[in-house]
Amino acid sequence: MKIKGKRIIRIFRNRYILSLSLFIIWIGIFDGNNLIERRRDLKIRNKLIKEKQYYKEQIQEDGKRLKELMSTEENLEKFAREQYLMKREDEDIFIIH
């Protein structure tokens, strides 16, 4: 057991290994771009990529819906009646939930 301990101490007395070890610890823990920060940034990046994809899909769906609404006057009237509860002058609307 003592021989292993002395061997490890002797290895860390080497200035190159000591420098490399300190560098790895510094980059891994203390640096502004350390591993913890990098992991957090990757999570945020992945979340933003998913949101971007969601909004692209929504834009496509809304574009199709807009094209459908503008195609005929009947579709526009149907949309106005359903979404904004618009009515003709001689009508009454009853909302049932």
What residues does each domain of the chain span? 1-31, 33-88
Phi, psi (degrees; rounded to nearest 5) at 68: -65, -40
pLDDT of residue 4: 67
Q: Is the pLDDT of residue 85 over 60?
A: yes
Q: Is the pLDDT of residue 1 over 70?
A: no
Cβ atoms of 52 and 42 closer than 8 Å: no
Residue 55 identity (one-letter amino acid): Y
Residue 35 contacts by C-beta under 8 Å, 6 or more apart in sequence? 27, 28, 29
Cβ atoms of 85 and 93 closer than 8 Å: yes
Cβ atoms of 93 and 87 closer than 8 Å: yes
Average pLDDT over residues 77-97: 77
Average pLDDT over residues 50-77: 92
Confidence of residue 50 (pLDDT cuts 50, 70, 90): very high
> Over pLDDT 70: what percentage of the chain?
93
